Structure 1
Amino acid sequence: MNPQTSPISQRQNSAENAFTQACIAFSRPRRIAASEAETAALATATRTTHAHEGEDIAVWTWGEGPRVLLVHGWDSRGSHLAGFIQPLLQAGFSVTLFDMPAHGDSAGEHGSVVHSSRALLSLATALADVQAVIAHSMGSAAALIAFCQGLQVQASVHLCGPSSLSTMVKLQARGYGLNPQQSQAFHAWVEQFIGQSTQSVDLESLLDGLRHPALIMHDPEDKVVPFAASMALNQAWSGSQLIETHALGHRRILTDDDVIIGTVAHLAHNVATDQPA
């Protein structure tokens, strides 16, 4: 029997392939095109680019007033939060959204929550007037890191976000069927890739950034990010409120009218605008 086709060899190849796929899934997001409706919305904005770590990040801005920065998740793009734009403008805010490195219209091929947090902090520092953040999924975790590293806002909203990278790495290893030895190797690979320990960006290490009022919304039936992540964030954040959504899963939360209304109300209550009360 050819050893390359033996059952043992096949299992080894399968295990190696699973490890490789886990690494790719962690570091190389899918580049998603904007829908027709999203493209139309983006066309009404002022588009600019922000230079970050040698590459250009695509940025879109609407309106005048206190700036709200919209932060998308993994395998996503800024325009996926387009449903928030008009309600925020009507409430007296200006709105900026952007595509993370290696996402949407931004440059790059690799990323992670740590890479995204650096891009978020870099852009917010350049803008200099970000008063609030609305963040979904991985973008929420990136925002938590940025808060701990100096980004100060008056309020934020977190939708279906993970709160600890170590937990997500374990879940990803499990999802790809990695055995204990491979899982340990995957964790080590992740830490090498992001340039720091996963523990350094777990919730327990980010508490100093949780200093403003926050609204957290999450569906307990979310199959991408466990609801327990938002429960832990709410418990650790004394100035936060957790709202359970229903039948929205991980992504429909971005287009739900009640979620958008609640988000805008939270920001309007905590961020001063020129709009009449």
Structure 2
Amino acid sequence: MPSMDATLPFVSPEKSTTGRLRPVPAPPWLRTGMRMASALAPGTAARVARKLFFTPLRARVRDEERAVLARGERFEMAAHGGRVVGRAWGEGPTVLLVHGWGGHAGQMTPLVDSVVAAGHRAVALDLPGHGESEGRVSSLVHFAAALARAASLFGPVHGIAAHSFGAAGSAYAMASGVVAKRAVFFAPPIGFESFWLRFRIGVGVSQEVMNRLLLDAEAWLDVRFDGIAPGDVAPRMTAPLLVLHDRDDREVPFEEGAELARRWPGAQLRPVEGLGHLRILRDERCVAAAVGFLAG
């Protein structure tokens, strides 16, 4: 198990402060229109907002990510009624690499070579509505269904390495029956509130519209959000967990990862600095710590 080596960018959790969250980017005309609709036609605003909220943007694939993806074995599978695309590298017990909301499999490729060198097969998905996979909308339920399907095809699953909302989807999948011996979460949320707040502020909808959106979404997905968040399922988890989280993360506050580690039996928290929400995935020291933990 990796030690708190002085070369790693890890710092004491006691120094944490909650940074200002970065709102979801939206053009001014949309914010103005949604503010007006929230006041004049909240029902209509909620329907439009739900579509916006559950429609992820497709992020650009970096050249170095594309090169690693090209070395992988491309596969397709059916999950939650759509086609999901993924890549696999190496042989051995499977480690699932799980991107976050608005991400893609390429964002997890910095872990691939180290996972393979450790004797594992690395499997990365473009989750539903992301990357090369089908669909325009996605959700926690879509994420978990795709992970469950991948686990059935490539299992047994030795480990899961997940980022941000992908950690939420992974925790929900594990709580729903996906078995993994170990897990590493980069910048995980404790719940969904920070995502809802960033959307509400960025898009300009009222709290009433946000409440309607969430009620409609629960009916659509056939779930209750109360009870399925990472912090809700954490106390039931048995797999060892490592949480890596930048204390100045402006998308998922550091305190959320720290609280998740507190609730997850036996979890380890490793705060980092200067890496933000995405660069933490490309930091060589964090990659080494993550793969070392997964290797056990």
Alignment TM-score, normalising by the size of structure 2 = 0.81
Match of 1:265, SS state, is helix
**Correspondence 1:183 to 2:207:** no
Report the CA distance between 1:191 and its aligned residue. 1.8
Report the CA distance between 1:232 and its aligned residue. 1.7
- Please tell me whether the aligned partners of residues 166 and 202 of structure 1 are also in contact (alpha carbons under 8 angstroms): no
More deviation, 176-185/35-44: 176-185
Report the CA distance between 1:12 and its aligned residue. 2.6
Aligned residue in 2 for 1:5? none
- Please tell me whether the aligned partners of residues 18 and 177 of structure 1 are also in contact (alpha carbons under 8 angstroms): no
How far apart, CA to CA, are the structure 2 residues paired with 1:31 and 1:139?
Answer: 15
129, 135, 139: which is aligned to 1:112? 139
- Please tell me whether the aligned partners of residues 22 and 172 of structure 1 are also in contact (alpha carbons under 8 angstroms): no
For 1:53, give the aligned amino acid: H
- Please tell me whether the aligned partners of residues 59 and 98 of structure 1 are also in contact (alpha carbons under 8 angstroms): yes
31, 55, 58: which is aligned to 1:31? 58
259, 263, 274: which is aligned to 1:236? 263
Uncovered stretches (5+) of structure 1, i.e. residues with no partner = 1-8, 270-277
Higher relative contact order (CA 8 A, sep 6+): 2
- Please tell me whether the aligned partners of residues 94 and 158 of structure 2 are also in contact (alpha carbons under 8 angstroms): yes
Aligned residue in 1 for 2:192? 165
- Please tell me whether the aligned partners of residues 19 and 176 of structure 1 are also in contact (alpha carbons under 8 angstroms): no
Aligned residue in 1 for 2:148? 121
Q: After superposition, what is the alpha-carbon deviation per residue over 1:4-61, rounded to whole angstroms, capped at 9, x for unaligned?
A: xxxxx99634756975664234211112342222222111111111111332111111
How far apart, CA to CA, are the structure 1 residues paired with 2:218 and 2:252?
Answer: 20
For 2:182, give the aligned amino acid: A
Report the CA distance between 1:203 and its aligned residue. 3.7
- Please tell me whether the aligned partners of residues 99 and 105 of structure 1 are also in contact (alpha carbons under 8 angstroms): yes
Q: After superposition, what is the alpha-carbon deviation per residue over 1:198-249, rounded to whole angstroms, capped at 9, x for unaligned?
A: 1031245413651111100111211111222212211111221011110111
Q: After superposition, what is the alpha-carbon deviation per residue over 1:132-154, rounded to whole angstroms, capped at 9, x for unaligned?
A: 00000110000000110111111
**Correspondence 1:12 to 2:20:** no
How far apart, CA to CA, are the structure 2 residues paired with 1:51 and 1:151?
Answer: 17
Match of 2:262, SS state, is helix
Alignment TM-score, normalising by the size of structure 1 = 0.86
Bigger-Rg structure (1/2): 1
Aligned residue in 1 for 2:119? 92
What's the Cα RMSD here?
Answer: 2.2
Report the CA distance between 1:127 and its aligned residue. 1.9
How far apart, CA to CA, are the structure 2 residues paired with 1:202 and 1:93?
Answer: 29
How far apart, CA to CA, are the structure 1 residues paired with 2:208 and 2:190?
Answer: 25
How far apart, CA to CA, are the structure 1 residues paired with 2:231 and 2:244?
Answer: 20
Aligned residue in 1 for 2:18? none
**Correspondence 1:81 to 2:81:** no
Aligned residue in 2 for 1:218? 245
Aligned residue in 1 for 2:71? 44
- Please tell me whether the aligned partners of residues 144 and 209 of structure 1 are also in contact (alpha carbons under 8 angstroms): no
Match of 2:212, SS state, is helix
Uncovered stretches (5+) of structure 2, i.e. residues with no partner = 1-32
Report the CA distance between 1:193 and its aligned residue. 3.3
Aligned residue in 2 for 1:72? 99
Aligned residue in 2 for 1:144? 171
How far apart, CA to CA, are the structure 1 residues paired with 2:46 and 2:249?
Answer: 25
Aligned residue in 2 for 1:153? 180
Match of 2:247, SS state, is coil
- Please tell me whether the aligned partners of residues 101 and 111 of structure 1 are also in contact (alpha carbons under 8 angstroms): yes
Aligned residue in 2 for 1:134? 161
Report the CA distance between 1:170 and its aligned residue. 4.5
Change (3 A) 1:103 1:138: same
Q: Percent identity?
A: 30
How far apart, CA to CA, are the structure 2 residues paired with 1:200 and 1:53?
Answer: 21
For 2:282, give the aligned amino acid: T
For 1:12, give the aligned amino acid: M
How far apart, CA to CA, are the structure 1 residues paired with 2:289 and 2:236?
Answer: 23
Match of 2:85, SS state, is strand
